[in-house]
Amino acid sequence: MSNLLPDQLRLMAESFPNETAFLNVANDFSMTFAEWDQASNRMARWLVAQGLQKSDRVAIHVPPEEPERFLVTYTAIHKAGLAAVPISTRLVARELGYVLEHSGATIAFSGTSTLPIILEAAKGAPELRTIVTTAKTESPLAVSWETATDPDDSPCQIPVGNTDLADVMYTSGTTGRPKGVVVRHGNVAMMPNGVPNWSGKGWFHSSPMFTFAGIASNYNPMKLGLTLMYLPKFDVDKWYNTVEQLKPSAVFLVPAMAELLIASPRFDSADLTSIMMCSLGSAPLAPATFDRLRNRLPKAIVSNSWGMTEAGPAYCHMPTEEHAKRVGSVGRPVPPTEVRIIDEEGNVLPPRNIGQLTVRNPGREREYFRDPEATANSWKDGWLHTGDMAEVDEDGYLYLRGRMKDMIIRGGNNVYSSDVESVLYEHPAIREAAVAGVAHKVLGEDIGAWIVLKDGATATVEELTSFCAERLSDYKVPRAWQFVSELPRNPTGKVVKADLPGRS
């Protein structure tokens, strides 16, 4: 059986043509497997007719409110033997223009709300010749979405091999320009294809479609016999309403979503009994948050996973019986993935020592698109240098300690932001917290904390300082505090600490 991503959709369309493949819970739009498969066949044939060659890049800049168009386009690109370039819809025109130009995309798919910015960005991308859009426009670059289709909806697949380009996934670019991670057909899938036992239950998530988590949610639900249920814009009450009414069996959350759900007055009373699997990822998770979710969902598999676009289909697994013993761990790497922790000189550290996490994924390695220097700096002797600080225990279980740049050196003492944030999340008044270094004339850096309080809650600097002093070494206790209404985040939900107010 072929293991191309679109092959899974074909299997579903043959086996379960009239079952609901996708549901947009914001407007109740749904799509069957047959409808999805046929629409992508028509679009794939149109792409082939445009004269593109195998592995040419096609950009997807579709807004969150049009998720079904993203799904059809992503599938059609692969059926046409081309490489998908999913792009954040939060980029400004200059950033978007760089990604379009660097990727060499010749065709881009846009939507109604995203057309103005991509038209502006196209001025810096001379290879871009066509923009497919749902918006009305006089631009000579633009063609309507209805035009980008062929009458023939029969099966379509341009032959591709394991080494051919599947995706070019651009990083969020919070530090410098985005880099495109090359994803080939041989390492794009995390799960093998197959005909599942169809349950009709749901896989519910709200991550942007263009992110690593969003892309993984296109095909993985169907491989498990589940309908993809999607909420384009995360909203706490809408999330609870969906779970209570539609009863999905699996949910995916980023830590920011989990914190907001826990802070809601509905957390203790909502009917969450349908959830059998709750996956968390994309950023470090406070152990207290994980414990509250696990206690609230005693019958569910609650997992805090680690993943990175550059690492490919690397995955860590935490057995349910190990949760209580391995508090804060994301599990052990699943073969063939290997991890090791190194110091600044590249020496491998023994268990229980914090250093940089390096990952090796034999046969599934990735690289940066058109950037051999960045590739050489990140992949050394087959090991990806992730930039994550971590440690492993004696049994190989992995514990994340934050990004290397999140390490604060306060008067010669190393302080990991995640250690302080984990303590802050234990405070009953705190909904969200971020910790980062702030400039200090004597110490070099001091500990700063940005706090979002729960609705109706109060807390003073003195109270929070005392709370931390009881749980942390004195040099780890924040001394610069700010109360804010929200934390700045990128599209994947990670806090952008460079944008924290007043940081200098």
What φ, ψ does residue 195 adopt, rounded to 5°? -90, 115
pLDDT of res. 496: 86
Distance CA 455, CA 425 (A): 15
Confidence band for 172, pLDDT divided at 50, 70 and 90 = low
Find the helix or strand (DSSP H, E) in which 214 lies.
Answer: helix 212-223
Output Rg (C-alpha) for the chain, integer angstroms: 23
313-343 residue pLDDT tens: 777 888 888 888 888 888 999 888 999 999 9
Distance CA 278, CA 283 (A): 15
- Checking if the pLDDT of 497 tops 70, the result is yes
Distance CA 116, CA 96 (A): 12
pLDDT of res. 309: 85
Distance CA 32, CA 72 (A): 12
Confidence band for 1, pLDDT divided at 50, 70 and 90 = very low
SS3 504: coil
Distance CA 411, CA 30 (A): 57
Distance CA 431, CA 442 (A): 32
- Checking if the pLDDT of 175 tops 60, the result is no
Distance CA 501, CA 66 (A): 32
299: its two tokens = 């019958």
pLDDT of res. 61: 97
pLDDT of res. 187: 85
With residues binned 3-state (H G I as helix, E B as strand, rest as coil), the percentages for the chain, rounded to 5, are 30, 25, 45
Mean pLDDT of the 263-268 span:
94
- Checking if the pLDDT of 258 tops 80, the result is yes
73-82 residue pLDDT tens: 999 999 999 9
453-463 residue pLDDT tens: 999 999 999 99
pLDDT of res. 2: 67
pLDDT of res. 171: 81
- Checking if the pLDDT of 136 tops 70, the result is yes
CA–CA–CA angle 328, 211, 108 (5° rounding) = 170
Distance CA 121, CA 95 (A): 8
DSSP per residue, 454-486: PTT----HHHHHHHHHTTS-GGGS--EEEE-S-
Cβ neighbourhood burial of 266 (10 Å; 0-12, 13-18, 19+)? middle
Cβ–Cβ contacts within 10 Å for residue 382, how many? 12
Among 45-59, 296-310, 383-397, which is the least confidently predicted range? 296-310
232: its two tokens = 């384009």
- Checking if the pLDDT of 39 tops 80, the result is yes
Confidence band for 174, pLDDT divided at 50, 70 and 90 = very low
213-242 residue pLDDT tens: 889 889 999 999 999 999 999 999 999 999
- Checking if the pLDDT of 111 tops 50, the result is yes
12-21 residue pLDDT tens: 999 999 999 9
Sign of the four-CA dihedral 102, 105, 109, 112: positive
**pLDDT, mean over the chain:** 91
Cβ–Cβ contacts within 10 Å for residue 199, how many? 12
Can you point out the beta strands (E) in 242-382?
Answer: 250-253, 277-280, 301-304, 316-317, 329-333, 338-342, 355-360, 367-368, 379-380
265: its two tokens = 């007055």
Percent of the chain residues past pLDDT 70, beyond the cut: 97
DSSP 102: H
Distance CA 74, CA 67 (A): 11
Distance CA 368, CA 376 (A): 9
- Checking if the pLDDT of 504 tops 70, the result is no
365: its two tokens = 């390695």
357-410 residue pLDDT tens: 999 988 778 999 999 998 998 999 989 999 888 999 999 999 988 777 788 888
Domains and CATH numbers, the chain: 10-16+31-187 (3.40.50.12780), 411-499 (3.30.300.30)
